[in-house]
Amino acid sequence: MLIDNLQAGRETDALIAEKVFGWEDASWDCECHCYTGHPKERYRYEQVPHYSTDIAAAREVSKKIAYMGVDTQQQFIIQLQLDLMGGGLYPLGLINASPLAICRAALKALGVS
C-alpha cells in the first residue's frame, strides 16, 4: 500500500485508528453499518472517528503524534512539509493542512508503508 495513494474515507480512518491510536479490530461493522473498533484501554467498541475528512478529528491525530516523542514529531512535520509544499520551510502552511494530508503525514512518520 502506498500512503500517497490513500483517499479520504472510512478505510483510511480505520487505518489511522489502528496505527496512530492503537485501536484493535477497526473495521466495517455490518450490524451498525459503520466502521467500529476497540480503543486501547476502553472496554467497548466505538465508532471510528472521521480522521481523514473532519479537521477536528485530524487535529486529534496531530496531538497524538505530539506525544509520541521528538523523532516521530519531527518526521510528521517533515512529511507534512514535503506533501504540502514540496519540502519548503513554510510553517504557516501547516495550519491549512487538510485532514487527509495530516493522516498521510502521520502514517509516514510512523513508518507505515
Asked if 103 and 52 touch (Cβ cutoff 8 Å), the reply is yes
> pLDDT tens, 79-100?
887 777 665 555 555 667 899 9
Which residues on adjacent β-strands are paired with residue 27? 36
- Least trusted range by pLDDT, from 39-48, 58-67, 83-92: 83-92
C-alpha cell at 50: 472521521
The count of C-alpha atoms lying within 13 angstroms of the C-alpha of 97, restricted to the half-sphere facing its C-beta, is 31
> How wide is the angle at C-alpha 51 spanned by C-alphas 49 and 53, nearest 5°?
110
What's the CA gap between 73 and 66, in Å, rounded?
Answer: 6
* Domains of the chain: residue spans and CATH: 3-109 (3.30.2120)
Which distant-in-sequence residues (6+ apart) come within 8 Å of 97 by Cβ?
A: 58, 80, 84, 105
Report the predicted TM-score, pTM, of the whole model to 2 decimal places: 0.85
